[in-house]
Amino acid sequence: MAEQAGQQYVMREGGQVTRGREAQTYNIMAAMAVAGSVASTLGPRGMDKMLVDSTGDIIVSNDGATILRKMDIQHPAARMIVEVAKAQDSEAGDGTTTAVLLAGELLRQAGLLTERSLHEASIIKGYQMASEKALELVKAMAVDVSAKDKAMLKKIAGTAMTGKDTDNAREFLSDMVVKCMDATMEKDANGKYYVEKKNLVLEKKTGGRVEDSRIIEGVLIDKGRVNFQMPEELKNVKVLAMDIGIEAKDTQFDAEFKIRQPGQFQQFSAMEDEQIKAQVDKIKDMGVKAVFTTKAIDDLAQHYMAKYGIIGVRRLKKSDVERVAKATGGSIVTSLDAISKDFIGTAGLIEEIKVGDDEMMLVSKCKDQKVISIILRGTTSHILDEYERGIDDALHAVQNSIIDGKIVPGGAAVEVELGMKLRQYATTIKGKEQLAIEAYANALEIVPKALANNAGLNAIDMTIALKNKHDSKKGINYGLNVYEGKAINMLEAGVVEPLRIKTQAIKSATEAACMILRIDDILAAAEVKNPAGGAPGGM
């Protein structure tokens, strides 16, 4: 007690100290609460969460990472679990719910062990041994996949997308994802694959059905030509991608220009017109027939451009203009005076198309065939957002499978197999760590249980059915068919996931659980009163 008083003495008044077992209980409960909040979303039959933010915006999602990001979690240990989701998302791009569930369950199991007076140090040691072993085992379970095996890649995409409201469109969307993969994967000088995100752009348009979505080789821009007198379509043309406008030069240096006589104003304005015309002429003289710019195109410039048959598209996102430059083999122009041939790109076809009620520009048949665009259609913006998250997960899953060349069966086949093998491993360990390794094995079972629960199946029956299959060597790839409530061979059923999802989930969940277990005191500083009244730094 005296020590505690001393502790508080060194901290700002109002600070809080929570110690030992009490601190640990708080932390474990917080972590479990986070895991509990996403548990019901796991798997193909998981439910969605509706999140309403402080401005009233609504998100309906099944995606663990998205849900946790939007939840604005405050408790420090709970935030460490949110970090697990973030790490999982950035390293594997999918599997966030699994990783968070595992972290929460590892802590719950640890809590049971501390109640039986097992010291944290033994738990941590045992968890680390179990995690090392689990990584070894899961790698041994993995099967090879090649970038050429499009049928398998489609299955990986399909598995990653399940549950994200995409069920009716899964076939179509997985096909699309595998096609996109060709565009986004590039090989570096050492022949290693890497992902070039810039090559892909996704435009969402409400209205229509998901089957009306399209993949387009080329750059799609969510804007039409600036002036209806400009051509609607051009073939085999030179293209400029610019970060400057076509307008009168900034007059700020000529601020001293004083108009003393009426005629002078006209003179000034004529001078500006001349300037604009000179810029358009320069573009015309280079043979350029299409201009894409981040800035403005003056009315007068539009008039001349239309007259010369040049298409102009203005006020674009920088990333769109960059994509035009990349696809057409040009470079972004920042000054018309410094322009050379190298800046000019070429396109086989430039056209204005109609998507729903909107005009869009499409630059296709380009030098760089890798740049592609997706127009995603769906009935509401919420569905479109969820489709986008599904596509994003699927793209990552396919890409990681190709980069690592390894996949594993889904439907909790991995978790059940690892659990059983870890129990065997535990019997070979003499010390107290044995108990922790068993607890680790128990924790892994949260995955089949959650999959079963979410499908309205009996979790215990299903886990036993799976374990029975895994008892024989032939059953190693058996997972849960959540639709029929039985154990099936997941490789044969085409429910497959990249190895990386599992290795990353094991690593980050173990790390976070151990980190939280090492904490025996929580020293919380007094909240700094914010004079402006705003809440101090949220997530």
Q: Which of 66, 96, 166, 184 is catalytic?
A: 96
- 63 is annotated as an active-site residue: yes
| Closest distance to ligand ADP from the beta carbon of 287 (Å) | 51
User: Does residue 392 belong to the site contacting Mg ion (CB under 5 A)?
Assistant: no
End-to-end CA distance of the chain: 34
Question: Which DSSP helix (H) or strand (E) runs through 270?
Answer: helix 262-285
Question: From Mg ion, ligand ADP, none, which one binds at residue 64 (CB under 5 to 8 Å depending on kind)?
Answer: ligand ADP
- β-bridge partners, 366: 347
Question: From Mg ion, ligand ADP, none, which one binds at residue 495 (CB under 5 to 8 Å depending on kind)?
Answer: ligand ADP
Q: Which of 97, 98, 463, 510 is catalytic?
A: 97
| Closest distance to ligand ADP from the beta carbon of 393 (Å) | 7
Name the residues that contact ligand ADP, by CB under 6 A.
41-44, 46, 62, 64, 94-98, 159, 162-163, 410-412, 447, 451, 479-480, 482, 495, 497
CA gap 39, 281 in Å, rounded? 63
Mind giving me the DSSP string for 470-527? Answer: HTSGGGTTEEEETTTTEEEEHHHHT-EEEHHHHHHHHHHHHHHHHHHHT--EEEEPPP
Residue 226 or 447: the one with the smaller Cβ distance to ligand ADP is: 447
Query: For residue 337, how many C-alpha atoms fall within 13 Å in the half-sphere facing its CB?
Result: 2
| Closest distance to ligand ADP from the beta carbon of 484 (Å) | 10
Pairing of strands 16-19, 521-524: antiparallel
Residue 219 or 505: the one with the smaller Cβ distance to Mg ion is: 505
Residue 104 or 163: the one with the smaller Cβ distance to ligand ADP is: 163
Phi, psi dihedral angles at 524 (to 5 degrees) = -100, 125
Cα distances (Å, whole numbers) of residue 539 to 71, 103, 163: 9, 20, 27
Question: From Mg ion, ligand ADP, none, which one binds at residue 224 (CB under 5 to 8 Å depending on kind)?
Answer: none
Is the CA virtual torsion 200, 205, 206, 211 positive or negative? negative
Residue 98 or 463: the one with the smaller Cβ distance to ligand ADP is: 98
Pairing of strands 311-313, 288-293: parallel
Question: From ligand ADP, Mg ion, none, which one binds at residue 43 (CB under 5 to 8 Å depending on kind)?
Answer: ligand ADP
| Closest distance to Mg ion from the beta carbon of 439 (Å) | 26
Q: Which of 393, 463, 503, 510 is catalytic?
A: 393
The residue number with the shortest CB distance to ligand ADP is: 410
Question: From Mg ion, ligand ADP, none, which one binds at residue 419 (CB under 5 to 8 Å depending on kind)?
Answer: none
**How far out from the chain centre does Cα 423 lie?**
35
Residue 94 or 438: the one with the smaller Cβ distance to Mg ion is: 94
Question: From Mg ion, ligand ADP, none, which one binds at residue 42 (CB under 5 to 8 Å depending on kind)?
Answer: ligand ADP
**How far out from the chain centre does Cα 36 lie?**
22
| Closest distance to Mg ion from the beta carbon of 170 (Å) | 13
At a CB cut-off of 8 Å and minimum separation 6, what does 168 contact? 210
| Closest distance to Mg ion from the beta carbon of 199 (Å) | 23
Residue 48 or 94: the one with the smaller Cβ distance to Mg ion is: 94
Residue 78 or 234: the one with the smaller Cβ distance to ligand ADP is: 78
- 97 is annotated as an active-site residue: yes
| Closest distance to ligand ADP from the beta carbon of 284 (Å) | 54
80-99 mask for Mg ion (x: CB under 5 A)?
Answer: --------------x-----
CA gap 292, 316 in Å, rounded? 8
Phi, psi dihedral angles at 6 (to 5 degrees) = -60, -45
Question: From ligand ADP, Mg ion, none, which one binds at residue 98 (CB under 5 to 8 Å depending on kind)?
Answer: ligand ADP
For residue 426, which amino acid is it? A
With 0-12 CB in 10 A as exposed, 13-18 as middle and 19+ as buried, what is 109?
A: buried
- 162 is annotated as an active-site residue: no
C-beta separation of 150 from 339 below 8 A: no
CA gap 22, 35 in Å, rounded? 20
User: Does residue 298 belong to the site contacting Mg ion (CB under 5 A)?
Assistant: no
C-beta separation of 346 from 328 below 8 A: yes
| Closest distance to ligand ADP from the beta carbon of 322 (Å) | 31
Q: With b meaning 16 or more CB within 10 Å and e meaning fewer, what string describes 462-476?
A: bbebbbebbeeeebb
- 96 is annotated as an active-site residue: yes
The residue number with the shortest CB distance to Mg ion is: 94
Edge-first strand order for the sheet with 406-409 is 143-144, 406-409, 496-498
Residue 411 or 419: the one with the smaller Cβ distance to ligand ADP is: 411
C-beta separation of 371 from 363 below 8 A: no
Is the CA virtual torsion 501, 506, 508, 513 positive or negative? positive
Q: Which two tokens stand for residue 472?
A: 């024989």
Residue 412 or 426: the one with the smaller Cβ distance to ligand ADP is: 412
Q: Which two tokens stand for residue 341?
A: 């041939």
| Closest distance to Mg ion from the beta carbon of 127 (Å) | 24
Annotated catalytic sites, by residue?
63, 96-97, 393
Q: Give me the residues that bind Mg ion (CB under 5 A), please.
A: 94
